[in-house]
Structure 1
Amino acid sequence: MSLQNILAANLHVSVPNHSRQANGSFAQISCEKNTVGRHISTKAVGSDRREDITHLYKHPEGSEEERIAVETASRFGSKPNTYFCAVANDVTLNVALKGEEPQIGQDAHLSITVKNSSAERRSISLHCQVAVIYYTGVQKGTVKKDDISVNLKPREVQTLEWTLPYDQYKNQLVDQAALMLTVTGRVRETKQVLATQFNFRLRTPDIVITPVGDAVVGRETVAKITFKNPLQCVLKNAAFRLEGLGLQTTGMIVFGDVGSLATIDLTVKFTPTLTGLRKLLASLDCDQLTQVHGVADIFIKQM
């Protein structure tokens, strides 16, 4: 593909017919001011065509969220003073998880802390948006939006509880179960812009492996496998893969359907071939739930 076609395809520029000179070089290339910086595209999944994903990143033109995004971006560009500067920057914004990482199948609880460092009252309008993201950081889609008003007294700190219900994300998750909360806002009195992003993951459950009795090389050994379905839906055609160096070759146990919030117990038998400390690994093979693993240390004695 020529440079002219590459520019036209990827940068959304219009190339006039007179841009190619007689000697094969290029003259002036004019850009479409109405498209550059306004459209975002990426390679479509499973195709060589490009997919328009502008709606995943841009707010409606002229909205308060869009203005905040533009002003925030401009501060880090070559002309940081393009937009009106805040009279004061005395309000801070912070996002954190409440407790440990939430487990998949549960509501996610986060906290948004707003601090007023000034001796005057401050009124803030916050816009919250959480999106599912792929492991590459590309957004899949927005699952929840909120608008919050906060009134702070002088020197006051407020911590707001923010919850993402399971019902709102259960059909949107992809591998790695990653989400991103974006919080933007503006202080009414000073016109200060607030913006922050917080990435978090949902923990997947563990497969618990418990050895039963002593393990001796050359003798049949038993281990118990316990797994609880954390989702409020049935896991279809679930199977467990087992492997362990010196314990057994890779094998599969086909279990079938696992009921909603159900706990299952399996018993596996294997004959160790090597002595010493060994690891038995287990993983879940299921379309509805991925990245589920378990490991146990098993000491194999000499006969």
Structure 2
Amino acid sequence: MCSVMRLLGIPCRVVTNFESAHDVHMNLIVETYIDDNGVNEERTKDSIWNFHVWTEGWMKRPDLGIDGEYDGWQAVDPTPQELSDGVFCCGPASVKGILNGQTGFKYDAPFIFAEVNADCVYYMSTESGEMLKVDSDTKRVGKKISTKAVGSRRRQNITKSYKHKEGSKRERHCFFYAATRDYSKPDDEIDEDEEEEEEEEEVMDTEAESGETDGGGGSGGMEEEPTPQPPSPVTIRFKKVSRPINGKDVNLNLVLKSKSSDARPLSIHISVQAMNHNGRPTGKILAEDKEETLLPGKALSVPILVPFLTYHKPMVESESMKISVVITDKNNGDHKYLATHDVVLLNPQLSITAPAQASLNTLNSGEVVFMNPVNEVLTNCTLTLSGGGLFKEEFEKKIQDLNPNDTMSIKFDFTPYKKGEKTLTADFDCDTFRDIKAICTVNVV
């Protein structure tokens, strides 16, 4: 799509939105329903994809105003997720219109607004069948909206072109307007000092951030008689013990705190699910219950261990694992707290080497090396090599089974047929791991 638009003379770039919402009902809210163990229930088609990609084209929009206010970047999605007037298409939608909450604009503005700035609401089903709102998150959707920087391979963060600083009064005002089309909130309620944007991040983060939440507000609204004072909320934080590497046990701690002056006995249910890229669970990994006491003025650290032998089969075809924790205050049984944490496993190391510079139409050689990091035999192993201007077609080689700690060393030849900077890619697959990749650059002269 980007190439075709450029061919037609329209400036265009590719955009990636991380934590991208798929709001089926277009109410700007992603509703998630869970059971009392924190496991997702299939009650809605709303979901959050780990990322989604579209394009932006630079165009005039005289249909949106005569002063050119909404000219410029327009979001155009060639892989749309919903029908638009009966056809699978999406956009062009003014990015500035999305920023200002103009969900009444053509084309498909409500869907794109939700992709980058929907609110998330979590409901839990009780034994009586009642749906209890246990948490809401206004900041989860639309993370590090990115494009390739001009003239380099670096990532350019363009989140501020789609929405104001997350959690600021202006961002909440625009969300309110997008959802209600109500102008009644005056602009002078907005503190302009909140609009100072953070510095653009030019390098992609390599590690997930630990999040902290108060686990929702509990369910005090269920009580028939008012209580003198609701219990102090429990704040929940996930803390990594080690980097989550595919092939090794996943270790992290659940850290709980409360300002309560009393000891609080807690019932903690932990569930772990394998998740697809589109936010749908693909399999159950484990579930366990723990009984702990949160003492006043002290943090409670609860270890969570997900062994490799437990997760590796469900995770072969999955993109991430979701750890869900439901905490029940045993002294106030109606008060439940929910927290979730997504774990993306880092792949074992695969290395590829080739000459940094090679001559056109000259035979060159390279090598791929991989060591089996797990205590089991890797079967059905395949290595795929590719590279535009280096290989005219993909080169695929079947590899014999790899015993634990065995090292695979594969030498290969290639003859460059196009000049310029080319990327050589190696992709290793087996029954235990999928798509372990490595790249190197070859400058063909």
TM-score (norm 2): 0.48
Work out whether 1:134 is the aligned partner of 2:134: no
Contact 2:247 2:348 in 1 (8 A): no
Work out whether 1:88 is the aligned partner of 2:231: yes
Say which SS state the counterpart of residue 168 (structure 1) adopts.
Answer: helix
Change (3 A) 1:187 1:285: closer
User: 2:361 maps to which residue?
Assistant: 218
Change (3 A) 1:265 1:110: same
TM-score (norm 1): 0.68
CA displacement at 1:40 relative to structure 2: 5.0
From 104, 115, 123, the counterpart of 2:257: 115
Say which SS state the counterpart of residue 246 (structure 1) adopts.
Answer: coil
Code of the residue aligned with 1:233 in structure 2: it is E
Contact 1:96 1:198 in 2 (8 A): no
From 175, 188, 196, the counterpart of 2:330: 188
Contact 1:104 1:231 in 2 (8 A): no
1:93-242 alignment runs, 5 A limit:
93-100=236-243, 102-191=244-333, 192-212=335-355, 215-242=358-385
CA displacement at 1:198 relative to structure 2: 1.3
Say which SS state the counterpart of residue 310 (structure 2) adopts.
Answer: helix
Q: 1:171-224 CA deviation, whole Å, 9 max, x = no partner?
A: 322423421111111223444321111121222224211125852223221111
User: 2:413 maps to which residue?
Assistant: 269
RMSD over aligned CA atoms reads 3.3
Say which SS state the counterpart of residue 257 (structure 1) adopts.
Answer: coil
CA displacement at 1:98 relative to structure 2: 2.8
Larger Rg: 1
Code of the residue aligned with 1:235 in structure 2: it is L
Further displaced range: 185-194 or 239-248:
185-194
Instruction: Return 5+ residue gaps in structure 1 as ranges.
Output: 1-38, 44-56
Q: 1:249-301 CA deviation, whole Å, 9 max, x = no partner?
A: 2212222322234221111111222333221111124343212111101223x
Change (3 A) 1:153 1:159: same
CA displacement at 1:232 relative to structure 2: 3.0
1:221-300 alignment runs, 5 A limit:
221-249=364-392, 250-300=394-444
Aligned-partner Cα distance in 1 for 2:435–2:239: 24
Contact 2:254 2:302 in 1 (8 A): yes
Say which SS state the counterpart of residue 136 (structure 1) adopts.
Answer: coil
Say which SS state the counterpart of residue 175 (structure 1) adopts.
Answer: coil
Change (3 A) 1:180 1:112: same
Aligned-partner Cα distance in 1 for 2:292–2:321: 24
Say which SS state the counterpart of residue 170 (structure 1) adopts.
Answer: helix
Q: 1:10-65 CA deviation, whole Å, 9 max, x = no partner?
A: xxxxxxxxxxxxxxxxxxxxxxxxxxxxx95899xxxxxxxxxxxxx999x84xxx
Code of the residue aligned with 2:383 in structure 1: it is F
Say which SS state the counterpart of residue 313 (structure 2) adopts.
Answer: coil
Q: 1:70-99 CA deviation, whole Å, 9 max, x = no partner?
A: 5445999xx983446772233212224334
Q: 1:219-258 CA deviation, whole Å, 9 max, x = no partner?
A: 2211111112333332323221111122122212222322
Aligned-partner Cα distance in 2 for 1:287–1:247: 28
Identity fraction in percent: 21
Aligned-partner Cα distance in 2 for 1:251–1:131: 35
Instruction: Return 5+ residue gaps in structure 2 as ranges.
Output: 1-40, 46-122, 137-215
Aligned-partner Cα distance in 2 for 1:83–1:155: 27
Say which SS state the counterpart of residue 217 (structure 1) adopts.
Answer: coil
Aligned-partner Cα distance in 1 for 2:380–2:291: 47
Aligned-partner Cα distance in 2 for 1:292–1:97: 23
Aligned-partner Cα distance in 2 for 1:201–1:265: 27
Code of the residue aligned with 2:249 in structure 1: it is D
Change (3 A) 1:83 1:40: farther
Change (3 A) 1:288 1:90: closer
User: Which structure has more strand as a fraction of its residues?
Assistant: 1
CA displacement at 1:159 relative to structure 2: 2.1
Aligned-partner Cα distance in 2 for 1:172–1:58: 25
CA displacement at 1:135 relative to structure 2: 2.4
Aligned-partner Cα distance in 2 for 1:248–1:143: 40
Change (3 A) 1:183 1:213: closer
Code of the residue aligned with 2:343 in structure 1: it is F
Aligned-partner Cα distance in 1 for 2:297–2:44: 45
Say which SS state the counterpart of residue 94 (structure 1) adopts.
Answer: strand
Q: 1:145-165 CA deviation, whole Å, 9 max, x = no partner?
A: 222222232221122221111
Change (3 A) 1:58 1:258: farther
